[in-house]
Amino acid sequence: MMHIDEDKLLQFALGIHDDALETEKIKLHLADCIECRTALVKIKDELDFMGSIRGDMPAHPIPLLHPRRRLFSALLRTAAMLAIGIFVGLGIARMEQAEPIYVIPAYIVPSPSTYSQSGHVVQEATYVRLNHVIIPAGK
């Protein structure tokens, strides 16, 4: 008796045999041939082993959130985001509207008259700093 080729047995075990007639022939042969049946069982065992890796199970599943609770928590998150957005937005708006701060600095320069004594005098401001830009006073 001719035995079934191993590749054909593997295709049969994987269910990828497209030819219905061929599949039927294999089934008929398997019914009569113990050697081919044994070979098929071996292939199936190998396939089972190939797919046998399993990750370990955590002791407890994470709790299931009821859909209503999920909806409530989603609404809560949205409300919180909105509130944060409003606060941040208001803060930025306030910052933009703030009046510029004028600073009249007094520059410390070495006084020629007291230079030899390592002394300094405060000269009257000639520049004004406006938001990090220094412009001549009076402009």
Partner 1 sequence: MKADWETLHRARAGDESSWRDLWRLHLPRLKALAYLVTGSVPTSDDIARETLIRAIEARVRNENGSLEGFLGTIAYRLALKEVKRHDRNIDITGFDTTDKSDIPLESILKNEREKILAETIRDLDSEHGEALILRFYGELSYEEMAEILGVPIGTAKSRVFYAVQSCRKKMREKGLII
CB of 14 to partner 1, least distance (A): 6
Among 31, 32, 58, 112, binds partner 1 (CB under 8 A): 58
Question: What one-character-per-residue DSSP string does 81-102 give?
Answer: HHHHHHHHHHHHHHHHHPPPPE
Task: Tell me which amino acid residue 18 is.
Answer: D
Whole-angstrom distance, CA of residue 9 vs CA of residue 46: 13
Whole-angstrom distance, CA of residue 33 vs CA of residue 2: 9
Q: Decide: is 95 part of the binding site for partner 1 (CB under 8 A).
A: no
Q: Decide: is 23 part of the binding site for partner 1 (CB under 8 A).
A: no
Q: Decide: is 112 part of the binding site for partner 1 (CB under 8 A).
A: no
Q: Decide: is 67 part of the binding site for partner 1 (CB under 8 A).
A: yes
CB of 29 to partner 1, least distance (A): 20
